[in-house]
Chains A and B, each alone.
Chain A
Amino acid sequence: MDTLKVRDAGDVEQAVRAALAGEQPLEIIGHGTKRPIGQPMATNALLDLSALNAVTSYEPNELIITVQAGAPLADVLSLIDSRNQQFAFEPVNTASLLGTPKLGTIGGMIAAGLAGPRRVKAGGVRDHLLGAHAVSGFGDSFKTGGRVVKNVTGYDLCKLLAGSWGTLAVMTEVTLKVMPRPESERTLVLRGLDDIAANRAMTAALGSPFDVSGAGHLPNSAFRGPQSGLGGLGDPQAVTLLRLEGIAASVVHRADALAKLLAPFGQAEIVADAASSSIWNSLRDVEPFAANGPLGAWPVWRIVCPPASGGALGQQLSRDTGGDVIYDWGGGLIWAALPPKPDAHAALLRQRVDAVGGHASLLRASVEVRRNVDVFHPQQRGLAALSERVRRSFDPRNILNRGRLVRESPA
């Protein structure tokens, strides 16, 4: 397979135009850490953006950073961390889940659109992407958005690029919002709740005025493997986790008030600062289902659903399949590792997820399984047709990551 290593947006334009002329679809990669996600693609050349890796500008007082799409996420995170700032949406590091070596690039982070626990408070990747330069499937560089937060000038194409898995345009440079890193954090830990009760506790916490910035639940079974970040939790029994962040005095006050509110669910223990943050990193990165752990060979689904229906849905799924689930976003995000099966339990799982108005993507599975399953949630016919028209408005010849999002229907 040809690899085209581009150095600037002009190179990307040339590569896409050549691909159009030769009718050769391109697979777009940064570090390639998320290549195992999606339908197996019908591409035969790689467009490698990893050399497009400069930080164009970083203005901490403006709360923005502009970087080229191939910039290593790890470097950008450490740069903004040096100024006590962060991406508030907590990008998921898929390395441990997928068994890939690196954290990936900024472009990959945006194209995947996977946000961590703080999404309940701070929003997702799409809420923090302010502007982008990209090359469409027409082979033209275009820009959208800007370098300011408040902007309604023209259609907000950034929203489409986030989570588009490289199927609309090749991002070359992006501007992201950064936010101050909270001065301190505390996690309330409730022990021994079943999934339904945990869901209720999280609902009560998120419906309180205490500004909860993370609400997750790990059933007993989540502790069967080696636990780097969760080890500090001690006893291997179910834990419900509620995070509070901010200035120290406020966090102490809110932790106290929240513990009182949640007293009917049990006595809350408190985990602070570094220990707290390592718990949330583990949950964010789905460590209980790590590729090198006991469930490493199981397919993993990412289910997004109305948060208050998460507990019942997850519990039912694990009972029906003998699988394991963990919860984030107060129940609104379920990671489900299910015992291997040729369809990864897609039919059953999608039926249950549809019933509560959610959607599910198969984020980890073998190529064989992904060939036979809709990796991303099938949409209603009208919505699917509209989405396809939107895709074609960016890439009419289907040059970019052809076939990654939607499975070719069997002839």
Chain B
Amino acid sequence: MAVMMPASDQAVLGRRDKIVAALRAIVPGEGVIDSPAEMIPYESDGLMAYRQPPMVVVLPDTTEQVSQVLKYCFEQGIKVVPRGAGTSLSGGALPLEDGVLLGLGKFKRIREIDYDNRVVVTEPGVTNLAISQAVAHAGFYYAPDPSSQIACSIGGNVAENSGGVHCLKYGMTTNNVLGCEIVLISGEIISIGGKSAETSGYDLMGIITGSEGLLGVITEITVRILQKPETARALMVGFAEVEAAGRCVAEIIGAGIIPGGMEMMDRPAIHASEAFVHAGYPLDVEALLIIELDGPGVEVDELIGRVEAIAQNSGSTTCRISGSEAERNLFWAGRKAAFPAVGRISPDYLCMDGTIPRGALPTALARIRDLSAKHELGVANVFHAGDGNLHPLILYDANKPGEMERAEAFGADILRVCVELGGVLTGEHGVGIEKRDLMPEMFSEIDLNQQQRLKCAFDAQGLLNPGKVFPTLHRCAELGRVHVHGGKLAFPDLPRF
């Protein structure tokens, strides 16, 4: 394992039987799993290159049980790793050898649907898609749509601040969540926000969203739901040069058009997808854009015309416009199957997730091409072009010695390029363990210390999901110390009035 995890606490491991018994007293029956064979499914999440059996798995089904489990672990100094559906691509739910894996899989109930206030109150184990399905008959849906939406849980979405292809127009999880019930490591149950547009006081909901399971365990979530747009149509536009596609993206935005989705694929991704799903993608282009407009028919028709004209002016070589729902879905089928399609042409692949300013797309692609040559590994690129979120898929074969390490080094180089171009390490997959050690590329020690102080406000002993997000762990007491600079009292440089 290339990523170092916190050292195991041998004293805790020595008390394992006692701990299992104590957890059984809180969560009876099948809710505590401690046999090695049954724990195998929990050894890793969507970042499958990393595996670690937990000390024990607990699957509570009430908030009260979650509270008691956490309180017990808090008092006993036992680490806890929360887990939703286990679809994280950054290793956010990777267990610890000496940690309790706390699964929220039994929190599967939608508690309330309130159409008048346009919210759904749900337990965290409900899948993203199930929320949309529950309100579909009334014309509503839940907007964020990560590509794993059939499997990923809403609790995990909140923990990771998940995105999806439509977040350019409709926002990420953080823009669509109004409140939650969260259990702190002390066992304390706290309710934040609700059906109102804003919470009172500091926006703790905003900080919990995307906190990757380091601040607390979410047991209930209130999400906003929206009415489905009347209609949606898509354009599939091919370009002989990546630069022209990048220009087209910038000009659409510059013209004041915010498409529902705007995706780009490069030649290797186009070829892999076309071979897999036969969506009718042009094979003689270097870049393909799928641009979806949604809204009332009259609006979509007009915007389709405007986007088509912009595409032509940007040098498109092919352009197809969906004439039916079936055709629109076909355009998307290739894009949505891009990951498994690449999986067919390469034994293994590593999916990266940096974000760059839109305007830097062509530069980023050229740099990725150079890096591909340097690391002698292939790459297929899939982008959320509208918001500059890149998903380079690095192709490798884990059975060939050294290839996985090279793939990881290639990936790290790509993320460094993202930061260098004014972007960030992760757009939607989270830091987890995967990008943890790259955090100093983007943040100074002072920046990271401020983030860790916030962690201390929730979990002063660092028991919740340790080893994730932060490259180095500091003691909270040390972080909280104020250094008074006595000699600089006068600040003579400051003009006084």
Contacts and interface: CB of A to CB of B under 8 A. Distances in A.
Contact of B203 (A63, A126, A376): A126
B202 A140 contact: no
Nearest to A306: B195
Interface stretch (B19-27, B124-132, B167-175, B402-410): B167-175
A50 to B, nearest CB: 11
Interface stretch (A189-197, A292-300, A319-327, A387-395): A387-395
B194 interface: yes
A62 B254 CA distance: 8
B358 A61 contact: yes
Given A164-B202, A376-B200, A250 B296 contact: yes
Given A152-B428, A308-B116, A383 B496 contact: no
B446 interface: yes
B275 interface: no
A136 B448 CA distance: 13
Interface string A143-185: 1101111111111111110111000100000000001110100
Nearest to B297: A253
Interface stretch (B226-234, B262-270, B281-289, B373-381): B226-234
A14 B202 CA distance: 26
B191 interface: yes
A15 B486 contact: no
Contacts of A48: 497
Given A358-B196, A377-B200, A17 B488 contact: yes
B58 interface: no
Contacts of A17: 484-485, 488
Contacts of B83: none
A246 B295 contact: yes
Interface in B469-485: 469, 480, 482-485
A159 B457 contact: no
A405 interface: yes
B411 interface: no
A357 interface: yes
Contact of B197 (A136, A149, A329, A393): A329
A143 to B, nearest CB: 5
A162 to B, nearest CB: 7
Contacts of B114: 306, 308
B359 interface: yes
Contacts, number: 303
Nearest to B197: A332
Interface string A380-402: 10111011011111101100000
A265 interface: no
Contact of A253 (B201, B299, B442, B496): B299
Interface stretch (A32-40, A100-108, A200-208, A234-242): A200-208
Interface stretch (B9-17, B344-352, B383-391): B383-391
Interface in A108-163: 113, 119-120, 123-124, 126-127, 136, 138-144, 146-160, 162-163
A249 interface: yes
Contact of A156 (B174, B191, B446, B480): B174
Interface stretch (B206-214, B307-315, B318-326, B393-401): B206-214
Contact of B488 (A18, A124, A180, A390): A18
B99 interface: no
B202 A127 contact: no
A410 interface: no
Nearest to A12: B494
B131 to A, nearest CB: 17
Contact of A382 (B175, B188, B435, B485): B188
A305 B200 CA distance: 10
A326 B227 CA distance: 26
A333 interface: yes
B202 A333 contact: no
A72 interface: no
B253 interface: yes
Contacts of B355: 146, 148-151
Given A147-B357, A247-B303, A389-B457, A141 B194 contact: no
A183 B299 contact: no
Interface stretch (A1-9, A73-81, A275-283): A1-9
A257 B298 CA distance: 12
Given A62-B357, A163-B202, A382-B188, A156 B117 contact: no
Contacts of B117: 306-309
A329 B423 CA distance: 34
A264 interface: no
A10 B355 CA distance: 29
Contacts of B356: 148
Given A154-B443, A160-B203, A357 B116 contact: no
Contact of B446 (A124, A142, A206, A359): A142
A3 B496 contact: yes
A250 B330 CA distance: 27
B416 interface: no
A408 interface: no
B401 to A, nearest CB: 32
B439 interface: yes
- B contact face: mostly helix, strand, loop, or mixed: loop
B50 interface: no
Contacts of B303: 247
Given A5-B497, A61-B250, A146-B423, A306 B357 contact: no
Interface residues of B, number: 107
A155 B451 contact: yes
B422 interface: yes
A246 B196 CA distance: 26
A369 B409 CA distance: 62
Contacts of B41: none
A20 interface: yes
A319 B296 CA distance: 41
Given A2-B496, A143-B447, A155 B207 contact: yes
B1 interface: no
B115 A207 contact: yes
B191 A20 contact: no
Interface string B107-129: 00000001111100000000000
A61 B246 CA distance: 12
Contact of B482 (A5, A59, A138, A162): A138
Given A14-B493, A21-B485, A61-B253, A124 B197 contact: yes
B211 to A, nearest CB: 6
B123 to A, nearest CB: 19
B227 A208 contact: yes
Given A15-B491, A154-B451, A181-B256, A207 B457 contact: no
A390 B480 contact: no
A391 B202 contact: yes
A138 B298 CA distance: 55
Contact of B210 (A126, A148, A152): A152
B211 A155 contact: yes
B454 A157 contact: yes
Of A211, A306, A308, A332, most buried by chain B (CB within 10 Å of CB) is A306
30 contacts: A4-B491, A59-B359, A62-B359, A84-B256, A138-B483, A142-B444, A150-B428, A152-B161, A152-B429, A153-B439, A154-B447, A154-B448, A154-B451, A155-B454, A156-B210, A157-B207, A160-B206, A168-B202, A181-B256, A247-B299, A249-B302, A304-B197, A305-B196, A307-B117, A332-B196, A332-B197, A333-B197, A359-B200, A383-B191, A387-B201
Interface of B: 114-118, 139, 160-161, 163, 167-168, 171-172, 174-175, 184, 188-192, 194-207, 209-211, 227-230, 250-251, 253-254, 256-258, 295-296, 298-299, 302-303, 355-359, 384, 387-389, 422-431, 435, 439, 442-444, 446-451, 453-458, 469, 480, 482-486, 488-491, 493-497
Given A154-B431, A159-B205, A181-B256, 11 more contacts: A3-B496, A11-B491, A17-B485, A144-B450, A147-B423, A148-B427, A160-B204, A160-B207, A250-B296, A307-B118, A386-B458
The 4 closest A-B pairs by CB, nearest first: A159-B206, A180-B256, A250-B299, A306-B195
